[in-house]
Amino acid sequence: MSKIETRIARAVSKVIFRHNMIEENDRILVAVSGGKDSLTLLHDLKKRQRGFPVPYTILAYHLETDFCGCCAGSRLKSLFEQWEVPYRIDGIAVRQNLKPGQELNCFSCSTSRRIELLRFARQHGFNKIALGHHQDDIIETTLLNLFYKGEFSSMLPVITYDKEPQVKIIRPLALVREEQIVEFSRQKNFNGVVCTCPYGRLSKRKKMKGIIRLLSRDNPLVRYNILASVEGKKDRKRRRF
Amino acid sequence: MSKIETRIARAVSKVIFRHNMIEENDRILVAVSGGKDSLTLLHDLKKRQRGFPVPYTILAYHLETDFCGCCAGSRLKSLFEQWEVPYRIDGIAVRQNLKPGQELNCFSCSTSRRIELLRFARQHGFNKIALGHHQDDIIETTLLNLFYKGEFSSMLPVITYDKEPQVKIIRPLALVREEQIVEFSRQKNFNGVVCTCPYGRLSKRKKMKGIIRLLSRDNPLVRYNILASVEGKKDRKRRRF
């Protein structure tokens, strides 16, 4: 196990145990877009299974959209088989399902996917859905919501939707930094699998990254302070989300 | 009345009526540091008195510190007399009152002043203390608290301290932009009165200003979104603090 893999595994352990994320006989649906984040998540959850205190099962679930020309599906399939992970690849008609006048964007696409994930989990008896959002996603989302939505909110490590109380959304990478995932995915050559969304408009998120980088140069605690504010914890000792 | 004075007066009216800031026979202690913000506030509250629906009294209160060499006191005195505003100038031993090992900084100085203001208000029967914080101060403080204190909090237009329930802190400039105050104070030549604090270290606040300026270039709503998040209001129509 490489140094970076160990580091990531430790950060995942921390968040799993702190939030009691994985319980006995959990059936976890791992949402795999094919990007570096979800593949790192899947890799960790698969490896972790063997030595974990309680048994749990995972299913790698990939939703192929109707607008992406590169079709990561076949490449993902061989990766899942290589890792010996049970998987399922379904199609989702994101573009086709748009209502008249509705624009195809990150918001409508991710909402469609989320609805589909929840539907699949409910129908196939999964009680958890694992998403690949990492620490930088959470920090950036806090700022994006503040600056552009006018609300103080973020992505929490564990949430349950009111409409789907039997399915928990978990984010085991909540403590993992994006740069760690980048390093790990380079090492594992995940980038060959990744298929960049042709509609991706990340300019605002990039701006948030720039702001955090700028502030962190003088004060590395800025990242942890933002996370602490999300959890409403003031004491320094527990600042690490 | 100049254009900028009218604009400021309108913004102050809005916040006063929205938050019911001034009530019949209020005795308002106006904290005047001698800077552009507090002088603009004092000027407005004095002018407003004549046509206001209910009577209220004001006292301009200046606390002269023991570390500032320039002593704005005498210049302020002549300004208060020129404006026909009742005033009082007291000394405050900020430096001398420091506990051993305690550093003189913006935080310790403003805490000392706040305690002194509250004490004076209580002893002399003032039920409101008016502070000159403006919209930019509020926005910047939200970000400073998020980035450096690890909490989501800000300066609200009206607050009461638990320990002093009979005295309300009001911020009538909460809707006034700093650039409006700068323009007005230039017109009125307040800058001649202002005495810059020799210990002022505003680098973090300047950074916040830079961030807001940068983001506002592409989306002018960013300022209002931050304010809306502080008030916890989501609907667009009421986004204006």
pLDDT tens digits for range A114-151: 999 999 999 999 999 999 999 999 999 999 999 999 99
pLDDT in tens, B12-24: 999 999 999 999 9
Q: Please write the tens of the pLDDT for every residue from A174-228.
A: 999 999 999 999 999 886 665 666 666 567 888 999 999 999 998 999 999 999 8
Strand order in the sheet with A56-65: A87-92, A56-65, A26-31, A128-130, A168-170, A158-160
Question: Phi, psi (5° rounding) for residue A63?
Answer: -105, 115
Which residues lie below 8 Å from residue B154, measured CB to CB, with a gap of 6+?
B138, B141, B142, B145, B230
Instruction: Say if the Cβ atoms of A225 and B152 lie within 8 Å.
Output: no
CATH number of B3-199: 3.40.50.620
CA distance, residue A233 to nearest chain B CA (Å): 7
C-beta separation of B138 from B155 below 8 A: yes
The band of B236, judged by pLDDT with boundaries at 50, 70 and 90, is: very low
**Secondary structure element (H or E) that encloses residue B165, with its range:** none
User: Mutating which of B138, B142, B151, B152 best tests the A interface, going by the most A Cβ atoms within 10 A?
Assistant: B152
A229 closest CB neighbour out of B146, B221, B228: B146
Rg, C-alpha atoms of chain A: 18
Closest chain B residue to the Cα of A227, Cα to Cα: B150
Distance CA A120, CA A200 (A): 25
* pLDDT of B105: 76
pLDDT band per the 50, 70, 90 thresholds, residue B70: low
Confidence category of residue A98, pLDDT binned at 50, 70, 90 = confident
* Residue entry with tokens 């899942």: A80
CB contact under 8 A, A224 and B150: yes
| B205 Cα to chain A: minimum distance (Å) | 12
How high is the ipTM of this complex? 0.80
Question: DSSP assignment of A204-232, as one string?
Answer: HHHHHHHHHHHHHHH-TTHHHHHHHHHHT
Q: Which of A30-44, B59-73, B185-199 has the highest mean pLDDT?
A: A30-44
- Partners of B230 on chain A (C-beta within 8 Å) are 152
Taking an 8 Å cut-off on Cβ atoms, the answer to whether A151 and B229 are in contact is yes
| Chain B residues whose beta carbon lies within 8 Å of the beta carbon of residue A221 | 148, 150
Share of chain B above pLDDT 70, in %: 89
Contact A150 B215 (CB under 8 A): no
Nearest to A150 by CA among B143, B239, B215: B239
Burial of A232 (0-12, 13-18, 19+ CB in 10 A): exposed
Tokens of B80: 């208060």
**Contacting residues for A66 by C-beta, under 8 A, at least 6 apart:** A91, A92, A93, A94, A95, A96
Per-residue model confidence (pLDDT) at position A110: 83
- Residues of chain A with a CB closer than 8 angstroms to some CB in chain B: 142, 145-152, 207, 211, 214-215, 219, 221-222, 224-230, 232-234, 239
Two tokens at B106?
């913006």
Rounded distance, CA A160 to CA B219, Å?
32
**Interface probe, candidates A203, A212, A229, chain B, greatest B C-beta count within 10 A:** A229
pTM of the model: 0.84
Minimal-distance CA residue of chain B relative to A142: B146
